Amino acid sequence: MAIIELAPWYFASDVVHEAAFRIDLPGPDRGYWLLSYLPGFTFTAHQARIGLALAEMILLDTEFSTAGFDRDLAELQAEELGLTYTGVMLALAARVIDERDTHSWLLFGDNTDLQL
């Protein structure tokens, strides 16, 4: 697991589908960072890296994980973002549901009445 800097304004996780982008457009948020799973929030570069590491920790934690899950660390990282651990988990869960909904037609055709 690593955070990869792909450009001075963009870095991403190498194992989950999340990324951070620096705002370069003129305006009050210029120079701040956005996390793909937390639209509407702005962060420092340091916080954005923490947010990506936290997303990796949460999304990769499974019952088969050998390293174990450090809930205390996850709560501290969420706090550094100005959020709660539960809030971060909900944002990631909503993102997963959104991705599934976007691609649900691949599995279920055009049945728009189907709720995932």
Kindly list the distances between the CA atom of residue 39 and the CA atoms of 11, 21, 34, 88, in Å, as whole numbers in the listed order. Answer: 16, 11, 7, 12
Within a domain: 82: yes
- For residues 79 and 73, give the distance between their C-alpha atoms in angstroms, rounded to a whole number: 10
Mean pLDDT of all residues in the chain? Answer: 80
Count of domains forming the chain: 1
What is the per-residue pLDDT for 108? 40
What's at 38, amino acid-wise?
A: L
Range of the domain at 43: 3-108
Position 78 in a domain: yes
For residue range 11-61, list pLDDT tens digits in order.
999 888 899 999 988 888 889 999 999 988 999 999 999 999 999 988 887
Q: Does the residue 116 lie in any domain?
A: no
- Is the pLDDT at 113 greater than 80? The verdict is no
Please report whether residue 115 resides in a domain. Answer: no
Is the model's pTM score more than 0.85? no
**Within 13 Å and on the Cβ side, how many CA atoms surround 71?**
1
Residue 113 lies in a domain: no
Q: Is the pLDDT of residue 109 over 50?
A: no
